[in-house]
Amino acid sequence: MNQFWTDPGPQPRDLFAGPLADKAPRPEADARYDVVERDVRGFSISYRVRDNRQRLWHVKIGPEAQTEVVASRIVWGAGYHEVPSYFVERWLAVERKRGAMLGGSRFRPHDPGLKSVGPSVRGRGSRIRSSARRNTAGWSR
């Protein structure tokens, strides 16, 4: 069970800051991100982007991007392990030297320890498995 959940303890978790709070890099709003890859399959468009500090991010746009971040923070607050995710209201996607201002996106830092294990039950997207154990925040650096 400790692979999925850990006792969050008596101190309340900061649901606004999320896992790792000030220890993890956060995406910047209104910043430029170079598009590495774009995936238009499925319900929402997703991107792999690189910021000006060369950090890779997985980005999802669409109506569920904001609610996904909120749900992730609630689950983490209850003690379940979660990958940090952030809602970015506006950002500049640059692809082939052309920029487009996008908004309403979920940003998640790239983690090479996360691997796809195949299609999900409904056949959309992928189930994710971590090859590394996570700390009590659900994320390690």
The reported pTM is 0.74
More confidently predicted of 134 and 91: 91
Residue 37 inside a domain? The answer is yes
3-state secondary structure of 72: helix
Residue 43 inside a domain? The answer is yes
Residue 141 inside a domain? The answer is no
Domain coverage including residue 64: 32-112
Residue 49 inside a domain? The answer is yes
Residue 134 inside a domain? The answer is no
What's the confidence (pLDDT) of residue 71? 94
- Per-residue pLDDT tens over the stretch 16-63: 888 877 777 889 999 999 999 999 988 888 999 999 999 999 999 988
| CB contact set of 15 (below 8 Å; sequence gap of 6+) | 73, 74, 76, 77
Number of domains in the chain: 1
CATH at 82: 3.30.200
Residue 101 inside a domain? The answer is yes
What's the confidence (pLDDT) of residue 2? 62
- Per-residue pLDDT tens over the stretch 41-50: 888 889 999 9
> What DSSP character marks residue 134?
-
Residue 75 inside a domain? The answer is yes
Other residues' Cβ atoms within 10 Å of the Cβ of residue 22:
7
Residue 17 inside a domain? The answer is no
